[in-house]
Structure 1
């Protein structure tokens, strides 16, 4: 079974679009009918996030830590208990391509670090887009780490110790631990996902806050 993990804190507005793309990716014929279990980890949600997930037939897990690292760790543990051999991670404000899972698995690696793209820059000033595009590595063998686009096999995840319950950079720390454990990691642009440039981001120290730093004089 392939497990797909989506942490969410009050994501009712954006979650639906994310889940629809995940369901399309889960039904790709190249997966050969292997079961894909999509899980939304509801972290201290007070809006209709749960209703959105359930309306699309997607499983949920509730936690109350307001901590993205804890949410990812709890979700991963749940999926592994269900028998997941591969964990694919994205964010509630991101949309994946139909071949996202197929491409992750095709590398035959123990972990796959993908890139992200922003298609709607309207929430940000023009200088943010220009500074971002000037330095972002939209290519193979990049060195970006995004919780919105990360895949890891169950064995390597366990060997590295899993997501740490950190309020930020839990994805970066996991990849660092995977490297230390000797995992075979692919850094690719082929699994690129679309993400949001919103200003009301949920996780401190994440992609949204990074974009805010680019707005500084």
Structure 2
């Protein structure tokens, strides 16, 4: 087995170093497994590249302005390098120490949808915090899909055509294709990632957008 880890980034200098350190710590928990990491720098104009270099990680540069295309670029690059299992996270997220070990625990399977925890909810209203907690299923068998915590077989990725070139919900679209073709998916809360609760969205309909909508519900009451 060879694992490939893909991290798309668009101007993430505030979070990227912590992300890469967490990934490196998770890699160190696995022995005798070859692991390649690639950061896909999509239309970056900040210090993201310098941070990647400082962490001695590999990178690709593109100007898609599209997370679906950026993920796909990194994944296909790693598959061409021989990766048989792909693990995705995001540049504003920190994987748990046993992130990779727990993925290995669930094998064999075609894909794993992990959970995310918010890094800080103090800037959110009490009502938003409550609504989010009521909405989120932090349990085995949950039905959440996060590009920040998604892993799958390279063979399956190729067979279904990979991520769509869309700016948001490329992760949902991908998993829906797997469900339609009856691939095996593990919905795990053992595979965990902590992600930013910022309200400045990178993806137009992503987690930040969801939190903003919850805040608007609070304002309307």
Q: Which category of TM-score, normalised to the shorter sequence, fits these structures?
A: over 0.9
CA distance in 2, matches of 1:203, 1:123: 20
TM-fit CA distance, 1:102 = 1.2
| 3-state SS in 2 of match to 1:172 | helix
TM-score by length of 2: 0.94
Indicate the residue corresponding to 2:20 in structure 1: 19
TM-fit CA distance, 1:119 = 3.3
| 3-state SS in 2 of match to 1:157 | helix
CA distance in 1, matches of 2:179, 2:6: 21
Q: Which has the higher strand share?
A: 2
Indicate the residue corresponding to 1:131 in structure 2: 131
Aligned 8 A contact 1:159 1:181 in 2 = no
Structure 1 residues not aligned, in runs of 5+: none
Match status 1:121 vs 2:121 = yes
| Structure 1 residue runs of 4 or more that deviate by more than 6 Å after TM superposition | none
TM-fit CA distance, 1:125 = 2.3
CA distance in 1, matches of 2:176, 2:104: 21
Provide the aligned length of Structure 1 versus Structure 2.
Answer: 215
Aligned 8 A contact 1:15 1:93 in 2 = yes
Indicate the residue corresponding to 1:7 in structure 2: 8
Indicate the residue corresponding to 2:60 in structure 1: 61
Q: Which moved more, 1:31-40 or 1:41-50?
A: 31-40
| 3-state SS in 2 of match to 1:122 | coil
Indicate the residue corresponding to 1:182 in structure 2: 182
CA distance in 1, matches of 2:176, 2:98: 26
Aligned 8 A contact 1:123 1:199 in 2 = no
Indicate the residue corresponding to 2:205 in structure 1: 205
Q: Could you give the per-residue CA deviations for residues 51-73 of structure 1, whole angstroms, max 9, x where no partner exists?
A: 10110001110110100001011
TM-fit CA distance, 1:202 = 1.0
Match status 1:81 vs 2:83 = no
TM-fit CA distance, 1:122 = 2.8
CA distance in 1, matches of 2:61, 2:6: 13
